[in-house]
Each structure stands twice: as structure tokens, then as C-alpha cells.
Amino acid sequence: MSLKKLTSMSLEFSYSADLKKSEFKILDQTLLPFEEKWLIVESLPQMVEIIQSLRVRGAPLIGVSASLMLAKLAIENKSQAELQKAATELYESRPTAVNLMVCIDRMRAVLNSKFSLENVVNEAVAIFDEDVQLCDRMATNGAALFVDGDQILTHCNTGGLATAGVGTALGVIAKAHAQGKKIHVYVDETRPLLQGGRLTTWELQKLKIPYTLITDNMAAQLMSLKKITKAIVGSDRIAANGDFANKIGTYSVAVNCFYHQIPFYVAAPYTTVDPTCASGELIPIEQRKPSEVLGVQGHFGSVQWAPLDSKVYNPSFDVTPAKLVAVWILDRGVYTQKDVDAGVFLK
């Protein structure tokens, strides 16, 4: 019996062609960069825990993982009703990642109106494949903007750990490197959760792309010394007018790029565009718990250095206005302010 296999930097899903057996493995991202442990996913409660504890993270990857979980349960001969119940549980496993809802809604459409084992598996595989393709297209579109000698600043983690494919912003960087362009990456550590320091560094090492880790407040000085030529980030939501939300700290990067006349790019799949959201100030900003700012917590250890009763401000995201963006790199193309003004994000 032949085996089909979907693989990414942090997912592995294999299944027999007769849809009788499957194996689902997920790289536990909470243990990175020091330990690469693959979890074998065997039950729905385990998958929910994996999502909620951020062992799998990155909005696109969460949606893909949840969809593959439904495929696995279908292969295990779960009934239509059981799969519908599982879909609901997965849908509710994390509240803010829009991709999770979009993916589960696609799976539900199949579960509800054209249910069959083959259709469920095919839809999950299609979701995986589409994510890979969107990343590839973004990467190709974006890589064309980079040249030999570019010193690229990036923020947070937007690579193969956040998607089923090569990533968004980091996928663009990886593609430029794969094309043989001599580039170097400055990695913002990305306080408070350190996705840059922990995950982007790990990915760049894997990809053998030269990088230098900095604290977020060092980027401006590097710009003043002309050591950064371009900046590229991902996005959690793009409004119809081109304003976009991304990991806290992104806006400061954009302002500093503007001041130093450095091109500032954002890379995201079309699914990140929200045509119903007119502009950035309408994007809700999640506030997170104070402990993340009072210290650091992770599998690497936990310490607190600030007085426990300190008042803390801890928004997870900030909003960057369209006017600070040089171009928007999407799977469908590279858009300028003129394109955005002409309504390219309204469709």
C-alpha cells in the first residue's frame, strides 16, 4: 500500500492511499531552540492541548493542524457527528487566530454537506497544499525585491514554524537566499515573547542564512549606521486601506524605517486581508497578561525582574498605517499604495 506524506518544518502527516492508516507528528515549538522533539498526535484532547499550549503556533499553521486532525479522526472511522463535535472543539481551542476559524469552516462545509472519508481527507490536504502554495507565491513575489548585499531587518517569527509552507516574511527572505542572493538578516528578539530570539534564529540556522540577533531597541541605531537596507514583517490582519496589525514592535520598526528612508515591506497571504475592516483603528488589539513584561517565562526557564505589583501595559499587536508601507507582498502580487487606493484590498 502506497503512503502519502505531507511535510513541513514542523508538521508531518502521512496516510495510506486506502485511507486506513495515518500518522500525525508535530514539532513541539515550546522546546525550541534547544530541543527538537516531535510529538505523535493520537487524540483530539492531545491536539487541543498542543494548540492551547502553543506547541504549535502561527495563525496559518494552527488552521492547517486542526484540519489535519479532523482528517486523522476521519481515517480512524469517527462518525459524521463525532467529527462535527471535534470540529467545534478545535474551532474553540484558541479565540484569536482567524485562520483557525476559516479552516474549520471549510472542513465543516465538507462534514455537513458532502461527508465522506475521502472528501474530509482531501479537504484537509487541500488546506495544507494551499498554504504551501500561498507561501511559495509570496516568496517568489517578494524575493524579487531583494538584491546582493541586502541587510534585512525582521521582527517576530514568520517562517516555516508559522505556516505549512516556507512562511510569509521569512519565506521571502529564505527564497532570496535560495536564489543565491548574498543577504544578511538582523533578527529583532521580539519582546515580550521572544519569537525572534527563540524561533527565527533557529529557522535561520536550519536554513544556513547568516543572521545577527539584536534586542528590539537596537534596530534604530543600526539604521543610523546604514547597516539595514530593508525591513520585512508579516501581518495578522490587513485592513481594506492597507493599515495592518502585527506583533507589537512592528510599528516602531516602520517609523524608524520611514525616518531613515529604508523600504518597509509586509508579506501576507490574501487570507490575511479583511475587506470588512475599513482601517487600522478598527482592528481589535488583544491585551496579554502582565507576567510576560515583568519577566520571561518559557521552557528555557522563568525569571521575574520587575516588582510584582508594577502596573504593566502589554498589547500583543500594534497597528502600522499604510503610509509607512513601501509595498504589500501578497501571493497574488506585489501592491503599492496606488493599488491599495484603487481598492485591491476591497475584493
- The yes or no reply on residue 284 touching its own copies (CB under 8 A) is no
Task: Build a one-symbol-per-residue string for 74-113: x at contacts with its own copies by CB under 8 A, - elsewhere.
Answer: ----------------------------------------
- The yes or no reply on residue 198 touching its own copies (CB under 8 A) is yes
- The yes or no reply on residue 307 touching its own copies (CB under 8 A) is yes
Report yes or no: 290 and 312 within 8 Å, Cβ to Cβ. yes
Residue 271 is which amino acid?
T
Find where cell 488552521 sits: 63
- The yes or no reply on residue 293 touching its own copies (CB under 8 A) is yes
Find where cell 475592516 sits: 277
**Distance (Å, whole) CA 290 – CA 39:** 30
The yes-or-no answer on residue 331 being catalytic is no
- The yes or no reply on residue 313 touching its own copies (CB under 8 A) is yes
Residues of span 209-238 touching its own copies by CB under 8 A: 210-222, 224
Q: How far is CA 317 from the centre of its chain?
A: 14
**Is the Cβ of residue 148 or residue 309 nearer to its own copies in the bound state?**
309
Grid coordinates in use for 34? 534547544
Q: How many angstroms separate the most distant Cα atoms in the chain?
A: 62
Other Cβ atoms within 10 Å of 144 Cβ, number: 14
**Is the Cβ of residue 174 or residue 262 nearer to its own copies in the bound state?**
262
Q: Which of 28, 150, 236, 243 is catalytic?
A: 236
Closest separation in Å from C-beta 133 to its own copies: 30
My answer on whether omega of the bond before 284 falls inside 30° of 0, hence cis, is: no
- Phi and psi at 166, nearest 5°, equal -80, -5
Which of 218, 164, 147 is closest to 186 using CA atoms? 218
**Is the Cβ of residue 115 or residue 300 nearer to its own copies in the bound state?**
300
Q: Which stretches of the chain bind its own copies, using CB under 8 A?
A: 33-34, 186, 188-192, 194, 197-198, 201-202, 205, 210-222, 224, 248-249, 251-252, 255-256, 258-259, 293-296, 298, 300-307, 309-315, 318-319
Residues marked active site are found at: 236
